[in-house]
Amino acid sequence: MMNSRRRFLGGAGAIAAAASTAAVSRVAMAALPEPVIQTTADTVPPPSPATGRPFQPVVTLNGWSLPWRMNNGVKEFHLVAEPVVRELAPGMKAHLWGYNGQSPGPTIEVVEGDRVRIFVTNRLPEHTSIHWHGQRLPNGMDGVTGLTQPGIPAGKTFVYEFEARRPGTFMYHPHADEMTQMAMGMMGFWVTHPRGTNPLIEPVDRDFVFLLSSFDIDPGSYTPKVMTMLDFNLWTFNSRVFPGIASMHVRQNDKVRIRFGNLTMTNHPIHLHGHEFLVTGTDGGPTPKSTRWLEVTTDVAVGQMRQIEFLADEPGDWAFHCHKSHHTMNAMGHDVPTMIGVDHRDVARRITRLVPDYMVMGERGMADMAEMEMPLPENTLPMMTGKGPFGSVEMGGMFTVVKVRPDQRPGDHSDPGWFKHPEGTVAYEFTGSLPQAPSAPAAAGPASMPPRTAPAGDVELRVRKPAGHAGHH
């Protein structure tokens, strides 16, 4: 649900006292646009623009696009930096910082050549700023606190104003106390649509956007740890984790564009099942057609954007996820030893005499944990979860689904439900007699050169279970 209400310091005197990053007239400052506040994590497909140049709006996963007002030919937006409560998935909420009621903030959509004015009201307990990542603009509008502008003090409103000079896919985020403010979820998406036809930007039927972010939130708690460098435990698409991430719903043979930006502290190989795609854009703009090739996985580094396009010609429910396996899991302990193949029946019997509810975990792999109904701390999600039409999906984190259907109406983003597989097209248990399976030869395999010193006999791998953190990096 979106609410429109005035969220700035009351009275004309407070508005007149608000600082500005540029020489904006007092007439423009006298009446700020109403800040629109989003109170849920729903996906809200925006309507076609009622004012300004026409464009086909994007769909922000578990998000929305910020409305604007036209003021003498200038497109005006109002962002409110403030503490927010974000539902990461049903059963878990996080106390974050964001914009206009949510983290990430709303997507800003404009058209190449638009004159844009953004009012930024700071309701955080410290100063902030906004950097318009990837934009061509006057240096004083770049949003770097101390270098190109003073910080926006708590309780004040600044104004950024510039022309959207080139089409593409961009981000916005603070350039003030970055480690804290970005770790708390302050970021948003920006799309500049082309004005008219562009030889490198083809029209599409569906256009989705989301940001990659990560948090370190201890089980049972609500607030991220802002000093974490790399060891995050929640990996998100638009501050949501599976199974809370919205799926993407398209019509068979639609041309689909997906744009994503990475504001985590590591890279992400993003993988689409069942289709090949082209990387058609980065935050540097659309890619030349001579540089494009078909892929099923593309890596997006820290601070980068990727724009991919594909023809959705294969019906089904197709996974879309980061291919780092620990990024498709929810909060987990990284210090659990590997127990695969370890026979601990005897020790389990001894422990159950003292702890009757003790359960052996990890002896056959981690999938058992997705099936267990284990008690969890308050405000904590299972590490592996999600219920599909054939049982547990055993996923979390950066995982969602592209649902391709022949009967999905144009412009309809409603969930069509699970795919109904044609008869004979689902993997099944084989109950016949199996042929003899070939086995690998017992002799040693080839090597590039003989060893200097050959071992006296065969050596088998010996596993020593970890006993501490010494030497761990």
The 8-class DSSP code of residue 14 comes to H
pLDDT in the model for residue 424: 95
CB 35 within 8 A of CB 120: no
Distance (Å, whole) CA 113 – CA 193: 10
The 8-class DSSP code of residue 339 comes to -
The larger pLDDT score, comparing residue 19 to residue 397, is at 397
**CB count in 10 Å sphere of residue 312:** 24
Q: Residue 361 — very low, low, confident or very high, per pLDDT cuts 50/70/90?
A: low
Give the tens place of pLDDT for each residue, 261-318. 999 999 999 999 999 999 999 989 999 999 999 999 999 999 999 999 999 999 999 9
pLDDT in the model for residue 27: 47
Give the tens place of pLDDT for each residue, 29-42. 457 888 999 989 99
Distance (Å, whole) CA 17 – CA 157: 9
Which residues have a Cβ under 8 Å from the Cβ of 190 and sit 6 or more positions away? 107, 108, 109, 110, 132, 133, 135, 169, 170, 171, 172
Amino acid of residue 439: S
- 445 has a pLDDT exceeding 90: no
The larger pLDDT score, comparing residue 234 to residue 336, is at 234
* DSSP codes joined into one string, 295-324: ESEEEE-TT-EEEEEEEE-S-EEEEEEESS
pLDDT in the model for residue 135: 96
pLDDT in the model for residue 340: 54
Q: How far is C-alpha 252 from the geometric centre of its chain's CA atoms?
A: 25
Distance (Å, whole) CA 97 – CA 223: 10
Q: What are phi and psi of 179, to 5 degrees?
A: -60, -40
Q: Position of tokens 């998100």? A: 236
The string over 142-165, giving b where at least 16 C-beta atoms fall within 10 Å of a residue's C-beta and e elsewhere, is bbebeebbebbeeebbbbbbbebe
The string over 270-284, giving b where at least 16 C-beta atoms fall within 10 Å of a residue's C-beta and e elsewhere, is bbbebbebbbbbbbe
pLDDT in the model for residue 447: 73
HSE toward the beta carbon, residue 138, CA cutoff 13 A: 12
* pTM metric for this prediction: 0.84
- 14 has a pLDDT exceeding 50: no
Q: Position of tokens 């790399």? A: 230
Mean pLDDT of 382-391: 92
- Alpha carbon dihedral 160, 161, 166, 168, in 10-degree steps, equals 40
Distance (Å, whole) CA 473 – CA 100: 39
- 362 has a pLDDT exceeding 60: no
Give the tens place of pLDDT for each residue, 289-302. 999 999 999 999 99
- State percent of the chain over pLDDT 90: 70
- 359 has a pLDDT exceeding 80: no
